[in-house]
């Protein structure tokens, strides 16, 4: 499964957007975009969804992969 940070970065680049462009178009700060793309673990869900909505996506629940030792 692809990490959220990788998805956002790849999608942004495929659309030819800079981090500044994505920040402006989604209505979040540049620092937030940078934190998101760097995989910061604690981010505001509403702001993540603002960014994802530009790509026609939103956050959702997915099954967690289990470790064999769990």
Name the average pLDDT for the chain: 93
Residue 7 confidence (pLDDT): 96
Please state the rounded mean pLDDT for residues 10-24: 97
Residue 63 has pLDDT above 60, yes or no: yes
The model's pTM: 0.84
pLDDT at 1: 53
Q: Which residues of 28-51 are buried (b: 16+ CB within 10 A; e: fewer)?
A: beeebbebbbeeeeebeeebbebb
CATH of domain 4-53: 1.10.260.40
The dihedral through the CA atoms of 39, 45, 50, 54 has a sign that is positive
Q: Where are the domains of the chain?
A: 4-53
**What phi, psi does 66 have (nearest 5°)?**
-90, 140
User: How far apart (Å, rounded) are the C-alpha atoms in residues 1 and 25?
Assistant: 27
List pLDDT tens digits, range 30-58.
999 999 999 999 999 999 999 999 999 99
């Amino acid at each position: 499964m692809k990490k959220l940070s990788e998805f956002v970065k790849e999608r942004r680049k495929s659309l030819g957007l800079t981090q500044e462009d994505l920040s402006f178009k989604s209505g979040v700060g540049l620092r937030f975009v940078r934190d998101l793309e760097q995989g910061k673990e604690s981010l505001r869900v509403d702001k993540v969804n603002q960014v994802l909505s530009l790509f026609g996506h939103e956050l959702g629940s997915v099954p967690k992969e289990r470790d064999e030792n769990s």
